[in-house]
Amino acid sequence: MPYKLGEVLIPREKIAERVKALAGEISRNAERDKPLVIVGILTGAAFFLTDLVRELPEDLDVRVDFMSVASYGDGTKTSGVVRIFHDLKTNIEGKNVIVVEDIVDSGLTLSHLLGLLKGRNPSSLKVCVLLDKKERRKTEVKVDYCGFSIEDKFVVGYGLDCAGMWRHLKDIKYVIED
């Protein structure tokens, strides 16, 4: 295996604390008279999305749907080619939508995805990411809700993987290439 685990970047306690705070921000900004469609980007955002929506208040009309897109394959560098494997089942026209993503770095995948979703005429379209690698941006993407800004190192855990490995880790850790 050409990769091994490094040290903890973000411990599970800090993740839980920040997820709760993000849910509070989303709740304060949400329109109570329209459904809020939370779109999780599989597979990486599944853990984050699950914890996030469980922290939202009961008085919000929250709908959850998923998309599966990829630009990484089995490596630690983006291929630059965005592929959609699973599309939404929910019609988002006229609805408030928040895309929930595990990480944004180059911005290429998210930019492509947002362009696609804007074409479906949602009332609003926002982005919530767990991790933001701003120094890796190749295209501008507005992040409305951000868990943590991190440096340009490959990380795993809490849904993030490296060639399918380490998604199950409770903490977020660095990956070291051998």
Catalytic residues: 105
All residues at 6 or more sequence positions from 13 whose CB lies less than 8 Å from its CB, including other chains: none
Could you tell me if residue 89 is left (phi over 0), alpha (psi between -120 and 50 degrees) or otherwise beta?
Answer: alpha
DSSP per-residue letters across 5-30: EEEEEE-HHHHHHHHHHHHHHHHHH-
* Cα–Cα distance list, 142 to 57, 82, 149, 175 (Å): 25, 19, 14, 27
Amino acid identity, residue 24?
A: G
Tokens 């903890």 -> residue: 8
Query: Do 171 and 12 touch, CB atoms closer than 8 A?
Result: yes
